[in-house]
Amino acid sequence: MDDWGKAVPYVLENLTTEVENSVEPFNLNLIDTKKMKDNDFFDYEVKRNDINKDVTINYMELNTSGQDYIKEVNIYGSYDGLLWDYITKDKIYNIENINKNSIYFNDVKKYNFYRFEVPNNVESIKINSITGYKNDSNIYTNKYYKQKESTYTIENKDNSTYIHINNQDRLHIHKIKIETDDIFRRNYGVLLNDREYPDYSGEIYNLDFKSIKAKNTEIDLPNEINDKDILIKINNGDDTQINIKKIDIIYSIDKAIFKKETNLSTYKLIYGNKNAIKPTYDIEKYKTYLAGEGMDECVLGKVIIKESPPVEAEKDNTTMYKMIFDILMLTISIVLVGYIWVKIRKR
């Protein structure tokens, strides 16, 4: 609202409005395999979704088979399948149902062919299929997600660790990151309304050995939660509890975009009415064109809590009604006494 209390047209932007349709998959077809000494090579050609559009890939998902393994794979790219450019190397592994088969690039690649080199492949690992993706969600993640250290308390009982996270500001939490140096592998569950749900459970681990280094201490939530108190249960079994150094939360934000009037410098952001109905403004219809416009960022001032007007207590009229009743009964009694007295005198 402006200084005169007039509503200012606005449009909300958030992660949901931008990530839609931002993931484009590309199937890769195996065209050749070769073995040189102990190294295996797998050559793939990208199947174009549209012959008039460039191939754009910034991460890949590999479907592999083989016994337990951990391998550092070299990736090359080519435009014609003849000359190859080195792109990067990354680890893939499958150890006791802990697996990592995704490879991320620093930027978008436009190669038509990709070669994967598996060095010293004594485990006979095979890359069965590959899907490449152009995923812009990481761009929007940086734009609409913020991270902060959370306050929490820990309670250890019944072979479990209970982490109570204080979300007093009711932030929309997307991910919870646990920082620890301990080596462990534990199951966890996020309790909602004192109940555990399969979708909010999983496994966290930190394995740091000569043969394998694998870490996942992040709790990804299938749906954002904004409960004031969040409870995480880590099942320790007979092991000692994890020494947690700190906990960070990643939460989503909304952006309110509106036109600034030249003669105004301050605005009021009013929120918190659960019964309010979302207004509809013209700016919603051309919000896609606002991306290229220059925008100034507003700085939020101190939160002012508007006190609700005191509710007038309902008057208790019981005493008043009793008084009226007593007076009425007294009056009737006097009238009756007078009537009887008159009757007696006439006799």
Alpha helices in 120-193 (DSSP H): 137-144
pLDDT score, position 300:
76
pLDDT score, position 246:
95
Could you say which of 3.30.70, 3.30.1360, 2.60.40, 2.60.120 is the CATH number of the domain covering 144-252?
2.60.120
Which residues neighbour 12 within 8 Å (Cβ) at sequence distance 6 or greater?
254, 255, 256, 257
Which residue stretches of the chain have pLDDT < 70? 15-22, 136-143, 211-212, 264, 288-289, 291-292, 308-317, 335-347
DSSP character for 67?
S
pLDDT score, position 21:
47
268 token code pair: 């009021």
Residue 305 burial (C-beta neighbours within 10 Å; 0-12, 13-18, 19+): exposed
Give residue limits of the domains in the chain.
Answer: 23-135, 144-252, 318-347
pLDDT score, position 120:
87
Check: pTM over 0.75? Answer yes or no.
Answer: no
* Domain 23-135 class in CATH: mainly beta
pLDDT digits (tens, 9 = 90+) for 217-229: 999 998 889 898 9
pLDDT score, position 137:
59
Instruction: Report the 10 Å Cβ neighbour count for 294.
Output: 4
pLDDT score, position 94:
86
Alpha helices in the chain (DSSP H): 15-19, 137-144, 318-346
